[in-house]
Amino acid sequence: MVLGMSRTGTTRVWWDRDVDQAGRQIRPDVRLAGHEIWDCACERTRAVVGEHAPAAELMESTVAQVSRYLNRIGAPLSPQKHGLVMAAFSRTLRRYAAKCARLHLVGDSNQLSRGIADERWMSGIYSRLQLEDIVRKLTARNGKVLKLRAAGYEWKEIAAIFGSSVATVRNRFWREIDRLRFNG
Protein backbone atom coordinates (compact mmCIF):
# COMPACT_ATOMS: atom_id res chain seq x y z
CA MET A 1 0.00 0.00 0.00
CA VAL A 2 1.31 3.44 -0.88
CA LEU A 3 0.33 6.39 1.24
CA GLY A 4 0.73 9.99 0.18
CA MET A 5 -0.15 13.22 1.91
CA SER A 6 -1.92 15.89 -0.07
CA ARG A 7 -1.50 19.61 0.56
CA THR A 8 -4.74 19.52 2.53
CA GLY A 9 -3.28 16.91 4.87
CA THR A 10 -5.52 14.06 3.74
CA THR A 11 -4.01 10.67 3.11
CA ARG A 12 -4.35 9.19 -0.36
CA VAL A 13 -3.97 5.48 -0.80
CA TRP A 14 -2.92 3.32 -3.73
CA TRP A 15 -2.83 -0.42 -3.21
CA ASP A 16 0.50 -1.48 -4.68
CA ARG A 17 0.75 -5.17 -5.59
CA ASP A 18 3.46 -7.46 -6.89
CA VAL A 19 1.17 -8.94 -9.53
CA ASP A 20 -1.50 -7.54 -11.85
CA GLN A 21 -5.11 -8.75 -12.05
CA ALA A 22 -4.10 -11.59 -14.37
CA GLY A 23 -1.43 -12.78 -11.93
CA ARG A 24 1.55 -11.53 -13.98
CA GLN A 25 4.54 -10.17 -12.07
CA ILE A 26 4.81 -6.36 -12.11
CA ARG A 27 8.33 -5.07 -12.68
CA PRO A 28 9.94 -3.52 -9.58
CA ASP A 29 11.33 -0.53 -11.54
CA VAL A 30 7.82 0.34 -12.76
CA ARG A 31 6.37 -0.06 -9.27
CA LEU A 32 9.10 2.25 -7.89
CA ALA A 33 8.33 4.87 -10.55
CA GLY A 34 4.64 4.62 -9.64
CA HIS A 35 5.50 5.27 -5.98
CA GLU A 36 7.64 8.26 -6.85
CA ILE A 37 5.08 9.98 -9.11
CA TRP A 38 2.08 9.07 -6.92
CA ASP A 39 1.54 12.53 -5.40
CA CYS A 40 1.88 14.23 -8.78
CA ALA A 41 -0.56 11.73 -10.30
CA CYS A 42 -3.10 12.47 -7.56
CA GLU A 43 -2.82 16.21 -8.11
CA ARG A 44 -3.15 15.80 -11.87
CA THR A 45 -6.22 13.60 -11.41
CA ARG A 46 -7.80 16.19 -9.10
CA ALA A 47 -7.08 18.93 -11.64
CA VAL A 48 -8.60 16.96 -14.53
CA VAL A 49 -11.66 15.30 -12.98
CA GLY A 50 -12.20 17.39 -9.85
CA GLU A 51 -11.19 14.75 -7.30
CA HIS A 52 -8.24 12.48 -6.66
CA ALA A 53 -10.25 9.32 -5.85
CA PRO A 54 -9.91 7.71 -9.34
CA ALA A 55 -6.10 8.07 -9.20
CA ALA A 56 -5.60 4.79 -7.33
CA GLU A 57 -7.39 2.63 -9.89
CA LEU A 58 -5.79 4.53 -12.77
CA MET A 59 -2.31 4.13 -11.29
CA GLU A 60 -2.82 0.42 -10.69
CA SER A 61 -3.90 -0.02 -14.31
CA THR A 62 -1.04 2.13 -15.61
CA VAL A 63 1.68 0.31 -13.66
CA ALA A 64 0.42 -3.06 -14.89
CA GLN A 65 0.20 -1.80 -18.48
CA VAL A 66 3.69 -0.27 -18.51
CA SER A 67 5.13 -3.40 -16.90
CA ARG A 68 3.58 -5.61 -19.61
CA TYR A 69 4.86 -3.29 -22.32
CA LEU A 70 8.43 -3.24 -21.01
CA ASN A 71 8.44 -7.03 -20.59
CA ARG A 72 7.10 -7.48 -24.13
CA ILE A 73 9.88 -5.37 -25.67
CA GLY A 74 12.52 -6.91 -23.37
CA ALA A 75 13.59 -3.64 -21.74
CA PRO A 76 16.23 -3.99 -18.99
CA LEU A 77 15.43 -3.00 -15.41
CA SER A 78 16.21 0.66 -14.83
CA PRO A 79 15.27 3.21 -12.18
CA GLN A 80 14.58 5.80 -14.91
CA LYS A 81 10.95 4.93 -15.68
CA HIS A 82 9.24 8.02 -14.21
CA GLY A 83 8.60 9.74 -17.53
CA LEU A 84 7.19 6.61 -19.16
CA VAL A 85 4.90 5.85 -16.23
CA MET A 86 3.72 9.48 -15.99
CA ALA A 87 3.06 9.64 -19.75
CA ALA A 88 1.08 6.39 -19.59
CA PHE A 89 -0.79 7.61 -16.49
CA SER A 90 -1.68 10.89 -18.22
CA ARG A 91 -3.00 9.01 -21.27
CA THR A 92 -5.09 6.73 -19.02
CA LEU A 93 -6.37 9.78 -17.13
CA ARG A 94 -7.37 11.53 -20.39
CA ARG A 95 -9.31 8.45 -21.48
CA TYR A 96 -11.01 8.25 -18.09
CA ALA A 97 -11.96 11.96 -18.21
CA ALA A 98 -13.31 11.59 -21.75
CA LYS A 99 -15.40 8.61 -20.68
CA CYS A 100 -16.78 10.54 -17.70
CA ALA A 101 -17.63 13.46 -19.97
CA ARG A 102 -19.69 11.15 -22.21
CA LEU A 103 -21.76 9.89 -19.28
CA HIS A 104 -24.61 12.21 -18.37
CA LEU A 105 -26.85 11.49 -15.42
CA VAL A 106 -30.49 11.97 -16.33
CA GLY A 107 -31.92 11.96 -12.85
CA ASP A 108 -33.40 9.48 -10.45
CA SER A 109 -35.68 6.61 -11.44
CA ASN A 110 -38.84 8.73 -11.07
CA GLN A 111 -37.54 11.41 -13.43
CA LEU A 112 -36.39 8.76 -15.89
CA SER A 113 -39.78 7.00 -15.94
CA ARG A 114 -41.56 10.33 -16.51
CA GLY A 115 -39.22 11.00 -19.43
CA ILE A 116 -39.97 7.60 -20.97
CA ALA A 117 -43.72 8.17 -20.64
CA ASP A 118 -43.33 11.61 -22.26
CA GLU A 119 -41.30 10.11 -25.11
CA ARG A 120 -43.97 7.46 -25.73
CA TRP A 121 -46.64 10.14 -25.86
CA MET A 122 -44.55 12.21 -28.29
CA SER A 123 -43.77 9.12 -30.36
CA GLY A 124 -47.49 8.33 -30.59
CA ILE A 125 -48.28 11.83 -31.81
CA TYR A 126 -45.45 11.69 -34.34
CA SER A 127 -46.67 8.32 -35.65
CA ARG A 128 -50.23 9.64 -36.01
CA LEU A 129 -48.98 12.71 -37.91
CA GLN A 130 -46.95 10.52 -40.24
CA LEU A 131 -49.98 8.28 -40.86
CA GLU A 132 -52.16 11.29 -41.67
CA ASP A 133 -49.52 12.59 -44.07
CA ILE A 134 -49.37 9.24 -45.86
CA VAL A 135 -53.20 9.07 -46.10
CA ARG A 136 -53.25 12.55 -47.70
CA LYS A 137 -50.74 11.44 -50.33
CA LEU A 138 -52.61 8.22 -51.21
CA THR A 139 -55.49 7.98 -53.62
CA ALA A 140 -58.90 8.05 -51.95
CA ARG A 141 -59.31 4.29 -52.41
CA ASN A 142 -55.91 3.38 -50.90
CA GLY A 143 -56.40 5.96 -48.15
CA LYS A 144 -59.52 4.03 -47.14
CA VAL A 145 -57.56 0.74 -47.34
CA LEU A 146 -54.91 2.13 -45.01
CA LYS A 147 -57.51 3.41 -42.54
CA LEU A 148 -59.25 0.03 -42.55
CA ARG A 149 -55.93 -1.79 -42.00
CA ALA A 150 -55.09 0.59 -39.14
CA ALA A 151 -58.52 -0.16 -37.65
CA GLY A 152 -57.67 -3.88 -37.64
CA TYR A 153 -59.50 -5.12 -40.73
CA GLU A 154 -58.04 -8.14 -42.54
CA TRP A 155 -57.21 -8.02 -46.25
CA LYS A 156 -60.06 -10.45 -46.92
CA GLU A 157 -62.60 -8.09 -45.27
CA ILE A 158 -61.23 -5.06 -47.12
CA ALA A 159 -61.42 -6.91 -50.46
CA ALA A 160 -65.07 -7.75 -49.71
CA ILE A 161 -65.84 -4.08 -48.96
CA PHE A 162 -64.37 -3.03 -52.32
CA GLY A 163 -65.85 -6.00 -54.20
CA SER A 164 -62.43 -7.12 -55.39
CA SER A 165 -59.93 -9.91 -54.75
CA VAL A 166 -57.46 -9.84 -51.87
CA ALA A 167 -54.50 -9.92 -54.30
CA THR A 168 -55.80 -6.97 -56.32
CA VAL A 169 -56.48 -4.77 -53.27
CA ARG A 170 -53.18 -5.65 -51.59
CA ASN A 171 -51.06 -5.26 -54.75
CA ARG A 172 -52.56 -1.87 -55.68
CA PHE A 173 -52.05 -0.64 -52.14
CA TRP A 174 -48.41 -1.73 -51.86
CA ARG A 175 -47.56 -0.45 -55.36
CA GLU A 176 -48.78 2.99 -54.35
CA ILE A 177 -46.91 2.84 -51.03
CA ASP A 178 -43.70 1.94 -52.90
CA ARG A 179 -44.28 4.81 -55.32
CA LEU A 180 -44.65 7.25 -52.42
CA ARG A 181 -41.59 5.82 -50.68
CA PHE A 182 -39.38 6.42 -53.74
CA ASN A 183 -40.93 9.71 -54.89
CA GLY A 184 -41.51 11.20 -51.47
Give the Cβ contact number of residue 175 at 10 Å.
Answer: 11
User: For position 110, what pLDDT does the model report?
Assistant: 66
Architecture of domain 109-183: Orthogonal Bundle (1.10)
User: Residue 169, exposed/middle/buried by CB under 10 A (0-12, 13-18, 19+)?
Assistant: buried
Give the Cβ contact number of residue 1 at 10 Å.
Answer: 8
The model's pTM: 0.52
pLDDT (tens digit per residue) in 115-156: 555 566 677 777 778 877 888 888 999 989 988 888 889 999
Q: Identify which of 84, 34, 39, 33 has the alpha carbon closest to the alpha carbon of residue 59.
A: 34
End-to-end CA distance of the chain: 67
- Domain boundaries of the chain, sorted by first residue: 2-102, 109-183
- Containing 141, the helix (H) or strand (E) segment is helix 140-150
Q: Is the confidence at residue 11, as pLDDT, over 60?
A: no
- How confident is residue 184, by pLDDT bands cut at 50, 70 and 90? low
User: For position 118, what pLDDT does the model report?
Assistant: 58
- How confident is residue 103, by pLDDT bands cut at 50, 70 and 90? low
Distance CA 30, CA 28 (A): 5
Calculate mean pLDDT across residues 16-43.
89
Give the single-character DSSP code of 106: -
Determine contact, residues 58/99, Cβ cutoff 8 Å: no
Q: Give the residue with greater pLDDT, 14 vs 52.
A: 52
Determine contact, residues 92/58, Cβ cutoff 8 Å: yes
Q: Is the confidence at residue 6, as pLDDT, over 50?
A: no
- How confident is residue 60, by pLDDT bands cut at 50, 70 and 90? very high
